[in-house]
Structure formats: C-alpha cells, structure tokens
Structure 1
C-alpha cells in the first residue's frame, strides 16, 4: 500500500514539471486611443482673444 501511495505522489509531482512549453508568450499590443477636438472653433479662440487685447491696447 505504501508503494502505491508513493507511486501516485511521484507521478502527480512529475506531471506538474511538464505543464508548460518553451514557446514565447503571446503579448497583445496596447490599444491607443487618440482624442479629437470637439469643435473646430477651439483652435481659433485664443488668437481672437489676443487680437482683441491688442486692439484694446492700441486704442488707448
């Protein structure tokens, strides 16, 4: 009976040693999400504000 238990324990321990393989792991590329501007007026607001400041400064 001891030999049967010992054989079962050794065979269980031996099967875990061969669980993996030697191939390279598969790594998926990360997903890149680009944010887009919500409106086209956002890019023109700053130059218009600067132009208004220059116009006010020139009027004084």
Structure 2
C-alpha cells in the first residue's frame, strides 16, 4: 500500500515538471500603421486661390 501511495505522490509531483514547452515563444511582429499626408491636396487649394485672384485681377 505504501508503494502505491508513493507512486501516486511521485506521479502527481512529476506532472508539474512537464507543463509547458522548452521551445522559445513565437511573438508576432507588431503592425505599424503610418498615416500619410497627401501633398496634392496641399497644392491644389493655393493654385485654385491664385487662379481666382488672377481672374478677378484680369477683370
């Protein structure tokens, strides 16, 4: 009976040693989102403004 109790105690104690994995964890790369500014939108407004001023000045 003592052998069975000892075997049960050792088997319970040994299960914690095998929990987990020896391989290094694999981390997913972080996704970086970069907001881009449209350079064409910044040029169109001043060009339209100059065109309006030119039309007004021509009259």
Q: Give me the TM-score of the superposition, normalised by structure 2.
A: 0.46
Greater fraction of residues in helix: 2
